[in-house]
Amino acid sequence: MPSRATDAVQKFDSSRAAEYGEQSRIALAGYDACHELAACMLAARLGSGGAASILVAGAGGTGQEVLTAARLEPGWTFTAVDPSPEMLALTSAQVAQAGLSGRVRSVPGYVADLDPLERFDAATLIGVLHHLPGEADKAALLAGIAARLPAGAPLILACNYRPYASQPLLLKAWGERWRMQGADAATVAAKLGRIQQGAEPPASEQVVADLLGEAGFEAPLRFFSSLFWGAWIACRRAPD
């Protein structure tokens, strides 16, 4: 039985998870639609009604990838990997609240820390790539995922894919979205400053396709986009 201290931690995580989820849904217009379509794309590729093991890389935060896909496909199980124990704890709180803990293995750490012989039927990498500095780190993460997928297995990749300064109108519209949701001028300015100080997103959709190709994936198919954000499905190429 959970102790009172554990209960308190879970309540704290749940309220932080709710706040994080609210912010994520403002920052990405269509957040829920993107996650729903990601699950639908996986089911369309893998087939519905069966068992499948899904690698969820960068799973910390809302845990939405897991919640949405688990609801659609009761036979799927998930390995949720994230280097931030705090972010992973937020996801675990959501997973527990949804009664899904038995279907989710949480792994604090990096994809590279997983058993190199372990294979998954599919993987997701949502909201992570544009936070990584430089192309080498991005390429290494994609290669680590590719190494754990058999030929034909799908990856759902979603990230911002244009440098923010390259599209001033999109950036301004992103600020307007925060204002639309009630943020005052100082908060909007702070949000705009913060997003531009982070790591650079891939420079274009072509760069995303090149990164995926070099990691061992077939050409990606985009199924969602919203301002700077895109979401694609790409299948693992058969080895040469």
- Could you list the residues that contact ligand SAM (CB under 6 A)? 24, 57-62, 64-65, 82-84, 87, 110-111, 126-128, 131-132, 141
* Full DSSP string of 80-114: EEES-HHHHHHHHHHHHHTT-GGGEEEEES-GGGS
- Residue closest to ligand SAM when measured from CB atoms: 60
Place of tokens 């879970």: 10
For ligand SAM, give the closer residue by CB, 60 or 202.
60
Is the separation of the CB atoms in 125 and 156 below 8 Å?
A: yes
Strands 221-226 and 154-160: unpaired
Q: How far is the CB of 49 from ligand SAM (least distance, A)?
A: 25
Q: How far is the CB of 206 from ligand SAM (least distance, A)?
A: 23
For ligand SAM, give the closer residue by CB, 58 or 201.
58
Q: Quick count: other Cβ atoms within 10 Å of Cβ 87? A: 20
Is the separation of the CB atoms in 66 and 126 below 8 Å?
A: no
For ligand SAM, give the closer residue by CB, 47 or 116.
116
Q: How far is the CB of 3 from ligand SAM (least distance, A)?
A: 26
For ligand SAM, give the closer residue by CB, 126 or 188.
126
- Ramachandran quadrant class, 190 (left: phi over 0; alpha: psi -120 to 50; beta: rest): alpha
For ligand SAM, give the closer residue by CB, 65 or 121.
65
Q: How far is the CB of 21 from ligand SAM (least distance, A)?
A: 8
Q: How far is the CB of 126 from ligand SAM (least distance, A)?
A: 4
Alpha-carbon torsion, ordered 58, 9, 2, 96, to 10 deg: -40
